[in-house]
Amino acid sequence: APILDVERVRRDFPVLHQEVHGRPLVYLDNAATAQKPRAVIEAVDRFYRRDNANVHRGVHTLSQRATAAYEGARETVRRFLNAADPREIVFVRGATEGINLVAQSFVRPRLRPGDEILVTEMEHHANIVPWQMVCEATGARLRVVPIDERGALDLEAFHRLLGERTRFLAVVHVSNALGTINPVAEMVAAARARGIPTLVDGAQAVPHMAVDVQALGCDFYAFSGHKVFGPTGIGALYGRLEVLESMPPWQGGGDMIRVVTFERTEYHDVPHRFEAGTPHIAGAVGLAAAIEYLEGIGMERITAWEQTLLRHATARLAEVPGLRIIGTAPEKAAVISFVVEGIHAHDLGTILDHEGVAVRAGHHCTMPVMDHFGVPATARASFAFYNTLEEADRLVAALHRARELFGL
């Protein structure tokens, strides 16, 4: 039996069935944002048609339904990450907001001048800048685990850098620029052995593999809904319950309090304490629908099919003269960054678009990775489980065409 019935899966994604510049669309920009199955579009539509009301405040029927849907979505995210308790799931705007919440509420109050936060050279800017901001405010220092020429972490350096002054480890699970899958369980265990709390940026992991936060042992895990086939503007931050309970709120407002007077305010319990204001209710509903859709297919099957796509695309890309893949770590997700000698990444992106092939060209919010490899930008083909082997071939054919156009 095939790993996955891709043609059947593709029928669930309306956006895939269109032409771009007269060619059938080949969507290979999934690391930027993933497409939405009908189940998600319809769940959001149904919520607004039937159940829309504000949550946690109303006694009326629609408000109760909206609250049940929102809190039900929290339980669905808990199951997806195998967290122990739904109170460990905080709804946020996305991975970026989740990381900023941890930086401001958990890490910043614990930092003294000379303390260190450890990140890696392959982090997305979302897992660099929030730490620089708290360092700036406290006199702490950012330390960086280097990567090697394959785009894999230098683990010896990691163990060396994990030191007396390290107060926090923030590491990406799967690199959006290189595809590298990091040994986060091992890294978290090493940090824990020294009593150092950890955050894993899972934005690019959850669309590709089963994630179990209890098995990882991390204190925090952040991801974005839109990269996992759900809506934009919603994401989740997992935090271990006792850690979340130790944290003050970050933003103040309605919905996060129990009692407010002008003398003092009593905060709500976890996780509501971290969800000030009216949340993205329909977004949470759509995210839950996306997760249920993925569960219906099975993450193991998704991983297996994407590994098939990765192997096929990597082998075929090797046939393109002058093409260099940036990121050749042994453990990789189906994200392929590359440069082609004689053609700037942005020109490649434009030519590929004319062939109907959507890829990203740029620094992918990982400028230090570009610096490491000495390139200003790469083109990046990032696959999802709805991509086909023929689409990988279309990418390769379009690259041959680009070389012809450049007289190469």
Q: Is 231 helix (H, G, I), strand (E, B) or coil?
A: coil
In whole angstroms, how close is the CB of 223 to ligand PMP at the nearest point?
A: 8
Assigned token pair, 337:
């960054």
In whole angstroms, how close is the CB of 116 to ligand PMP at the nearest point?
A: 21
- Pick between residue 67 and residue 250 the one whose CB is nearest to ligand PMP: 250
- Pick between residue 185 and residue 389 the one whose CB is nearest to ligand PMP: 185
In degrees, to the nearest 5, what angle opens at C-alpha 303 toward C-alphas 227 and 9? 70
In whole angstroms, how close is the CB of 127 to ligand PMP at the nearest point?
A: 6
Q: Is 48 helix (H, G, I), strand (E, B) or coil?
A: helix
Q: Is 224 helix (H, G, I), strand (E, B) or coil?
A: strand
- Pick between residue 66 and residue 274 the one whose CB is nearest to ligand PMP: 274
Q: Are 52 and 404 a contacting pair, CB within 8 Å?
A: no
In whole angstroms, how close is the CB of 296 to ligand PMP at the nearest point?
A: 24
In whole angstroms, how close is the CB of 274 to ligand PMP at the nearest point?
A: 16
Q: How many residues does the chain have?
A: 408
- Pick between residue 138 and residue 224 the one whose CB is nearest to ligand PMP: 224
In whole angstroms, how close is the CB of 365 to ligand PMP at the nearest point?
A: 6
- Binding residues for ligand PMP, rule: CB under 6 A, are 31, 94-96, 124, 126-127, 172, 176, 201, 203-204, 224, 365
Q: Are 399 and 320 a contacting pair, CB within 8 Å?
A: yes
Q: Rounded to an integer, what distance in angstroms lies between the CA atom of residue 250 and that of residue 257?
A: 12
Is residue 365 part of the annotated active site? The answer reads yes
Q: Are 368 and 387 a contacting pair, CB within 8 Å?
A: no
- Could you identify the residue written with the tokens 């895939």? 16
**What single string gives the DSSP state of each residue in 308-363?**
HHHHHHHHHHTTSTTEEEE---SSB-SEEEEEETTB-HHHHHHHHHHTTEE-EEE-
Please tell me which residue in 32, 142, 365, 367 is annotated as part of the active site: 365
Pairing of strands 265-267, 323-326: unpaired
Pairing of strands 335-340, 323-326: antiparallel
- Pick between residue 67 and residue 387 the one whose CB is nearest to ligand PMP: 387
**Alpha helices in 102-196, H assignment, sequence order:** 129-138, 155-161, 184-193
- Pick between residue 208 and residue 403 the one whose CB is nearest to ligand PMP: 208
- Which residues does the annotation mark as catalytic? 365
